[in-house]
Structure 1
Amino acid sequence: MNPAETPSAPGAVLNISVYKFVPIPDAAQLRETLFERAQAATLKGTILLAEEGINMFLAGSAGAVRGFVDALRADTRFADLAPKESWSTSQPFRKLLVKVKREIIRMNHPAIKPADARAPAVDAATLERWLAQGHDDNGQPVVTLDTRNAFEVDHGTFDGAIDWRIGKFTEFPEALRAHKDEFTGKTVVSFCTGGIRCEKAAILMREEGIQDVYQLEGGILKYFEEVGGAHYTGQCFVFDEREALDAELKASQDEPR
């Protein structure tokens, strides 16, 4: 059963993560509106806004969370938001933060503008099939590239994934330039927790001349939701007090620390 359709027990908390690269020139004004709405709905978590887009991690009652998203979809820029959902037994966030930043995921590479053009994406089912057969549909070897920080990778990753042990995402461009020749003749699928980092990473890789590169649509969380844990060992680190989720999108512990 899809986690989004799982009947919630009394008091269960719905957690969502969603992002979209879309021009938001009015980020400062939108910040005030979203803070007031989220606070009124007693939601907790983090909303990041920048001229390049929006990135949200929110938790609360199912009705409040989904109502907040529905209200946001009334803005045509966000009409197609499709949050990834999971459940927890308690609130995993301590407070509500709504911030305006220079980037919703910092890369320090201003030429990368996902709102202008995305890199090609591959869905979970296709990646699972490629990994099972060891090559893409053209017979080319497939490698997965983990774009997350080293401590996140240590919780779990795809079997055989490339891991450059970066400490923060701003280190990714330099690491890529040091290793990009290793991708010759291979199909590369970049991945991350929810899709935001691997989207920027895939665009940069194409700009650096790597032709056969895809981003994993929706990241690890969407992969877990759609196909489970095939070809993945361990859990997926998340940036809240649940710490990590398994392939069934369940927290590594019943209660937050």
Structure 2
Amino acid sequence: MKRFSAAATPMSVVNISAYKFIALDALEQRQAELRARCEGLQLKGTILLAPEGINIFLAGTREAIDSMVEWLRSDPRLADLDPKESLSESAPFGRLRVRLKKEIITMRHPQIRPEGGRAPSVSPETLHRWLQQGFDDEGRQVVMLDTRNDYEIACGKFEGAVDYGLRSFTDFPAAIAADRGRYVDRTIVSYCTGGIRCEKAALHMQELGMEHVYQLEGGILRYLEYTDAGGWDGHCFVFDERGSLDAQLNPQPVPGQAS
């Protein structure tokens, strides 16, 4: 169950993040169509397009966001697009950018093709229960694995989570390969801000032959949106002018930085 609604807060700007790993072609045409649609709705933010899929961060009025999501879902391949939402008093993006990329999240492991099949996921509600009881439904110890960069983790993380102090997500494959023994006979839940990095990370771990691997569905943002944030400590760093979000998804300055 969502923990907030537009009617419960004076903040009127709706911020969404969403992604979908799906094979895409005609990227320049899609880029032009997306830019025109966003400009017509006066949306700001960033959309990344790559042969492996789409990654979306947009802000605007409730009506404009709903119209954009409806238009995106009119493509059968994006019919199940499920954006994470948060609210703010103003748009946290200065302008609109629609960019073409080699990957929508860079790992530099081209053999990973998420559109070929997703890694198993765990819902926020189920993870919340696992964290409260200390083990999964099969009785295995749950290990939270943070796939974000070091400066993001400095804002907040799940209590007791493993992190590798990554400078870049491209460093993750080497870090996990050197530490596989830690996870034997345990359930691994990889997590990130919105789900995209932890999905690629989970697929990579499966390719390494690691068992009992899950991704947190929707990442930290969905966990904070759908639970009471139990097990989470601190703020969630976001890549826009808000800086970070607290456990109620309210904008907050990044700890240690001037507001």
User: TM tier, shorter chain?
Assistant: over 0.9
8 Å contact kept, 2:144–2:158: yes
- Report the Cα offset of residue 11 of structure 1: 6.9
Structure 2 equivalent of residue 252 of structure 1: 252
RMSD value over aligned CA atoms? 1.5
Tell me how far apart the structure 2 counterparts of residues 87 and 205 of structure 1 sit (CA, whole Å).
Answer: 34
Amino acid at match of 2:206: R
Structure 2 equivalent of residue 159 of structure 1: 159
- Report the Cα offset of residue 17 of structure 1: 0.4
- Report the Cα offset of residue 6 of structure 1: 2.7
8 Å contact kept, 2:149–2:168: yes
With over 3 angstroms needed to count, the CA separation of the structure-2 counterparts of 1:183 and 1:40, relative to structure 1, is same
Structure 1 equivalent of residue 229 of structure 2: 229
Structure 1 equivalent of residue 22 of structure 2: 22
8 Å contact kept, 1:191–1:216: yes
Amino acid at match of 1:45: G
Q: How many residues get paired? A: 255
Structure 1 equivalent of residue 91 of structure 2: 91
4+ residue runs of structure 1 moved beyond 3 angstroms? 8-11
Tell me how far apart the structure 1 counterparts of residues 11 and 130 of structure 2 sit (CA, whole Å).
Answer: 40
TM-score by length of 1: 0.96
- Report the Cα offset of residue 4 of structure 1: 6.2
Tell me how far apart the structure 2 counterparts of residues 72 and 195 of structure 1 sit (CA, whole Å).
Answer: 19
Amino acid at match of 2:252: S
Q: Among the aligned pairs, what percent are the same residue? A: 51
Structure 2 equivalent of residue 40 of structure 1: 40
8 Å contact kept, 2:31–2:49: yes
Tell me how far apart the structure 2 counterparts of residues 228 and 148 of structure 1 sit (CA, whole Å).
Answer: 22
- SS of match in other structure, 2:102: coil
Amino acid at match of 1:113: R
Correspondences of 1:2-151 after superposition (within 5 Å): 2=2, 5-7=5-7, 12-151=12-151
- Report the Cα offset of residue 82 of structure 1: 1.1
TM-score by length of 2: 0.95
Structure 2 equivalent of residue 207 of structure 1: 207
Tell me how far apart the structure 2 counterparts of residues 189 and 203 of structure 1 sit (CA, whole Å).
Answer: 12
Q: Cα deviations across residues 33-74 of structure 1 (Å, max 9, x unaligned)?
A: 000110111111000011111000000111111111111111
- Report the Cα offset of residue 100 of structure 1: 0.8
